[in-house]
Structure 1
Amino acid sequence: MRAPRRHLSVIAALGSAALLLGACSTATAPAPAINSAPADSAAIPAGLEKFYTQELDWASCGGVLLCTELTVPMDYDDPSGKTMTLALNKRPGGKNAAGSLLVNPGGPGASGLETVREAVPNMFGQDLQRGFDVVGFDPRGVGSSTPVTCEQPAEQDAGRAEQFDPGSDAGIEEMRRDSAEYAALCAERTGDALGFVDTISAARDMDVIRSALGDKTLNYLGYSYGTSLGANYAQLFPQNVGRMVLDGALDPTLGNNEITMGQALGFENEIRAYMQDCLDSGDCPFSGELEDALDQLRELFAEVEAEPLVGSDGRSVPIIDFVNGFIVPLYDNSTWPMLTEALRNVMAGNVDDIQYFADLTAGRESDGSYTGNGTAAFSAINCLDYPMDADIPTMRAEAQELAQAAPTIGKYLAYGAVGCQDWKHPATGNPAPLTAEGAAPIVVIGTTGDPATPYAWSQALAEQLSSASLVTYEGHGHTAYGRSNDCIANAVESYFLDGTVPADGLTC
């Protein structure tokens, strides 16, 4: 298997945007001290006045879109020190728009700019698009904001083609050397910003964004990892929460190992659901009963693990890239037929469809360039947000548990701690409950068949947040709003537009 610095990523394709989700981060911090403010404006944290009172200079950046940049402190404990730049865009609402609606697609590492540019027109109802200026941002370290920079395209291609054997101590040592080289490259090319791309800092940035937009409270829609940003924002600034929807939630009490196990089980269950649907279709490249077909799939994975496939462009597709490509269509059951066709082609000797999906997870274009920096940001944010134990016996025990619990996918999620072992900056995250006492009503949405953020995580976050209502979508796929049904759409849009909080326990 390939080095864990580029290990299995969890990806969501919402609309036309590729939204990195992966092993997701949570962290907590005490609320900052604040200065008093007039009753018609939100309070400004002490020492941050010059950031909170910025005036945004919006300029046209294609069609109806407007773009701008915002400055935030690199280190909120040293606001007079270095700064970082955040990139924002927006789709202006109608003439009676009720302020801004900030959107984050997840990750960590996904671009909010891309979401607003590409996905929002197809995912959001027209009334919601008219009712708010829909604003996207690339969080610190991501994309067009002060980015984490690690590899050039040729280096990233080479890294994706690598394959190691964690079954031996020598294989793990090779993985460690490779990961240490990658960590050193990230530190050299990113500089001091690499130590400040944690979730807490990004959540604090959101309050600067709110103020610069001229909104007293933050209206926010966060998907997947974006729910961690939203929940931490509510914990830090409960008095500034407006209307907030957290879709496909993370449980902030879970550590890295628990997150990994939850996702392994989630994807294993979704693979079973997909495979049964494939068999029932009568046009499936697998045969027999469900367990027979799953055995055939595992045999296919074993063959790729033993001998990587080669795409028509000559690039190698080793097992982790293959599995990354395999899981992309699992994020939405409407794309399951695409997975069936891709697997049928693999069995006929053509891996190009799977390679295309794997390229989507990495942000690789057909010309060999890479858009964004999702892989690098994914690593950097997670290494800061989660303490990880790279002790070999510990990792081997975890790998065994993953393989037993999720026999199809679990082994490919193991050994991720190696990727953070030699990271220049130690983890600062501290998984713990988030209550956001005093916040306005928050809506948490969970999907019963969500493979990337299991339904139980949404239940847990809704239970922790003091003002949360839980809405359940009974279905498959990752997240719900924009890809599920009218019941979810009406609940979300009525809440944002009219302030109608859906009943706790609503099931769609």
Structure 2
Amino acid sequence: MHTRRTSRRPRPRLRPRLRLRTRPRPHGGAAAAFLVAAALLVAACSSGNPPASTGEAPAEAEAALAALPRSTPAALNPYYGQKLAWRDCGVPDFECATLKAPLDYAKPGAGDIKLAVARKKATDKGKPLGSLLVNPGGPGGSAVAYLQQYAGLGYPEAVRARYDMVAMDPRGVARSEPVECLDGRQMDTYTQTDVTPDDQKETNALVGEYKKFAEGCGAHSAGLLRHVSTIEAARDMDVLRSALGDPKLNYVGASYGTFLGATYAGLFPERVGRLVLDGAMDPSLTARRLNLDQTAGFETAFQAFAKDCVRQSDCPLGGKGTTPAQVGDHLKAFFRKVDAHPVPTGDSDGRKLGEALATTGVIAAMYDEGAWPQLRDSLNSAMNENDGAGLLSLSDSYYERSGSGHYTNLMSANAAVNCLDLPAAFTGPDQVKKSLPAFEKASPVFGEGLAWASLNCTYWPVRPSGAPHRIEARGAAPIVVVGTTRDPATPYGWAKSLARQLSSGRLLTYVGDGHTAYGRGSSCIDSTINAYLLQGTPPTQGKRCS
């Protein structure tokens, strides 16, 4: 069940058996070959029957958003005044600490939440620039792991020399009081559930899994589910900024991390330092529109893959002269085949490669063109050798499932944040069915499955607290918004829209494939962002790199 998300992850986290054949990059690599998903595909409703929804924001959510304070209330002073007690992380050159924040910012005295923080100190003590907070996206991605396994070691040396590199797992994520929903066996069932139902029985099974997932979250994380919104996570970032002793926040956010960073800028524009929002999201769109746009984004990426595939001698979906549409038809035929007759994988838990896992594996590889050779290998094995291990490995990496059957809390946190941030895309299966033509037009290959995946928050146990809204951040310093023209997960149009919304937004365009741009091999992109981070020089408006 390929619930979509957006995120950027370090390449070292790829499991060895994935064997992605990618060229090394000196200080980057989005490593998004296993990163798919629907960061802003949110929704929600109370337990029981969901309220009718058009996908628009409820009036009470808009009112709550407008009422947010733009200064620090006195009741929060104990949090803003705390001193971090740094300790050894068990990882060379990194130190860790725990930040306290109020569970409920409306009731600061009602209890705390403990948030995991990690830091790698600047190496040039003579020219410090303060802290640089990083976030890889998700929602649900561990920023601490991202820092320790990639950013703290792989960001440009000049950036690491001048900044203390800092990360904090957002509330409900990884080391910060994680949301939990299902155990490993239950997650195996969930991820293998068919998301292109052929009849009412399969539709009922899909809805049943969505309900079981939501009920599990409600049972295991009831007190936390109402307090993992992006707005609350952005407020946590301001508490961290104060605890670090920084007058302003310097930040690089990728994918969903751009929504988190833009939300911070909207709340605290006067505290914005140097913000880079790479692979930008558009906060003004409804969940359904976001889902539809992202579906079109994956089709754009697939078209690029298809054109490249038919030029390769090992393409299992067609040869020279085969059109992208024909490549898509061949892939859909393969999906139908494994739906009817799943392929063996050699998995120790007996899992076979059905349509759901196969589709997730293919979508995962759309995030980074460096994964395309591995995808061709995996498709060849599944289609011609009756071996689904390669695609299963891609799918497992996407879901962060270990060989022992353990899942991180990525998917649980992803749903929890999404389902709190926006009203639901759909109220039930009938609405999905009515929307299928639009989704299938957006992507003939993936549209049907991604439409049904948009139902994932419909049965959520708590109501949404967020709403679609524009973010202007008037008075903020220049904010660099980066968009990639063929980005599958955060379509380029979102970056253009966010840059227009932000009063100080500067759009930087990467003409190319893959998810996000910084550290992916473009010297133009990297040097432009480095100049901004190190000298404070933002790019000219509309600058394009390839």
Q: Please state which band the TM-score falls in when normalised by the shorter chain.
A: over 0.9
Tell me, what secondary structure is at the counterpart of 2:452?
Answer: coil
Cα separation, 2, equivalents of 1:143 and 1:334: 27
User: Does 1:173 find its partner at 2:209?
Assistant: no
Out of 371, 374, 377, the residue aligned to residue 341 of structure 1 is 377
Cα separation, 2, equivalents of 1:140 and 1:177: 28
User: Does 1:266 find its partner at 2:297?
Assistant: yes
Give the TM-score, by structure 1 length.
Answer: 0.93
Aligned to 2:469: 432
Range that drifts further, 418-427 or 162-171: 162-171
Aligned to 1:100: 131
Cα separation, 2, equivalents of 1:182 and 1:218: 36
Indicate conservation of the 8 Å contact 2:328/2:444, yes or no. no
Cα separation, 1, equivalents of 2:8 and 2:178: 21
Indicate conservation of the 8 Å contact 2:428/2:458, yes or no. no
Cα separation, 2, equivalents of 1:387 and 1:356: 33
The one-letter code matched in structure 2 to 1:22 is A
Indicate conservation of the 8 Å contact 2:5/2:39, yes or no. no
Indicate conservation of the 8 Å contact 2:120/2:165, yes or no. yes
Indicate conservation of the 8 Å contact 2:133/2:165, yes or no. yes
Range that drifts further, 375-384 or 301-310: 301-310
Out of 333, 343, 352, the residue aligned to residue 299 of structure 1 is 333
Cα separation, 1, equivalents of 2:370 and 2:154: 15
Tell me, what secondary structure is at the counterpart of 1:146?
Answer: coil
- Larger relative contact order (C-alpha < 8 A, sep ≥ 6)? 2
Aligned to 2:39: 24
Task: Evaluate the alpha carbon distance shift between residue 335 and residue 166 of structure 1 in structure 2; reply closer, same or farther with a 3 A threshold.
Answer: closer
Cα separation, 2, equivalents of 1:219 and 1:11: 20
Cα separation, 1, equivalents of 2:364 and 2:315: 18
Out of 55, 59, 70, the residue aligned to residue 83 of structure 2 is 55
For each residue in 1:445-499, what CA deviation from the matched residue of structure 2 results, as whole angstroms up to 9, or x when unmatched?
Answer: 1111111101111000000000011111111000000113111111111101111
How far did 1:60 drift?
1.5
Identity of aligned residues (%): 38
Cα separation, 2, equivalents of 1:334 and 1:120: 19
Indicate conservation of the 8 Å contact 2:280/2:494, yes or no. yes
Indicate conservation of the 8 Å contact 1:8/1:324, yes or no. no
Count of paired positions = 495
Tell me, what secondary structure is at the counterpart of 2:134?
Answer: strand
Out of 416, 419, 422, the residue aligned to residue 386 of structure 1 is 422
For each residue in 1:289-344, what CA deviation from the matched residue of structure 2 results, as whole angstroms up to 9, or x when unmatched?
Answer: 12332221121111122233331122123322211111222211122111111111
Aligned to 1:310: 344
Cα separation, 2, equivalents of 1:243 and 1:438: 13
Q: How does 1:56-455 map to 2 (within 5 A)?
A: 56-61=84-89, 62-94=91-123, 95=125, 96-121=127-152, 123-163=154-194, 166-288=197-319, 289-290=322-323, 291-313=325-347, 314-347=350-383, 348-370=385-407, 372-388=408-424, 389-455=426-492
User: Does 1:488 find its partner at 2:490?
Assistant: no
Tell me, what secondary structure is at the counterpart of 1:48?
Answer: helix
Range that drifts further, 194-203 or 157-166: 157-166
Range that drifts further, 320-329 or 477-486: 320-329
How far did 1:392 drift?
3.2
Tell me, what secondary structure is at the counterpart of 1:419?
Answer: coil
Indicate conservation of the 8 Å contact 1:164/1:174, yes or no. no
How far did 1:165 drift?
5.7
Cα separation, 2, equivalents of 1:216 and 1:502: 23
Tell me, what secondary structure is at the counterpart of 2:83?
Answer: coil
Cα separation, 2, equivalents of 1:443 and 1:495: 8
Task: Evaluate the alpha carbon distance shift between residue 418 and residue 327 of structure 1 in structure 2; reply closer, same or farther with a 3 A threshold.
Answer: closer
Indicate conservation of the 8 Å contact 1:90/1:133, yes or no. yes
Cα separation, 2, equivalents of 1:165 and 1:279: 27
Task: Evaluate the alpha carbon distance shift between residue 12 and residue 345 of structure 1 in structure 2; reply closer, same or farther with a 3 A threshold.
Answer: farther
Aligned to 1:38: none
Indicate conservation of the 8 Å contact 1:21/1:108, yes or no. no
For each residue in 1:110-141, what CA deviation from the matched residue of structure 2 results, as whole angstroms up to 9, or x when unmatched?
Answer: 11011101111564110001110111111111
Moved over 4 A (4+): 8-13, 18-21
